[in-house]
Every structure is written in structure tokens, then in C-alpha cells.
Amino acid sequence: MQVLVRDNNVDQAIRVLKKKLQREGVFREMKRRASYEKPSEQRVRERAEAVRRARKLARKQAQREGLLPAPKPKVLKPRAAGAAAPR
């Protein structure tokens, strides 16, 4: 994984890296591997994940077919003039 550091702004690069790692599920995987997981616990977890994926897929399919209302779009709040990152 690669992150560009612009204008020696390491803090922003770290934030971008953390966001990429979060999206990839690296933190979740590290937490899961921190201790031994019994095979029975692993099966239970994997089944629960499969159920969640199936429900999400069914919900999206129902939204596409018009059976469920589409999710409300997130409204982004405008930033204050002084809150912008310095350049």
C-alpha cells in the first residue's frame, strides 16, 4: 500500500493511510488474529458474516427493484473558513 506525502504533510498522509487500512479491513484482521480462535468459533463467526452479507445484498436488490426506499443521501456540512487545512 502506498501513500503520497505532499508538502511534507505527514499528518495528512497518516490519516489517508489509516483510512485505506480501515477500508481494506486490516485493523479488523489484526484484532481477529491477536488471539487464537477455536474452529467452532471461526465457523460461527463466518456464518454470521455470511448472513450479514446476504442481508445486505438482499436489501440492495430490494432497493434496486423499488420494494424499499433508497437510503437518504448524506448531507455534507460546509467547512468553516478557518477550518481549512493550511497550504
Q: Is the pLDDT of residue 69 over 90?
A: no
Q: Record the cell numbers describing residue 54, joined without a space.
A: 446476504
Q: Average model confidence (pLDDT) for the chain?
A: 90
| pLDDT above 70 coverage of the chain, percent | 92
Q: pTM for this structure?
A: 0.60
Q: How many CB atoms are located within 10 Å of the residue 46 CB?
A: 10
Q: How many CB atoms are located within 10 Å of the residue 4 CB?
A: 8
Q: State the Cα–Cα distance between residues 59 and 57, nearest whole angstrom.
A: 5
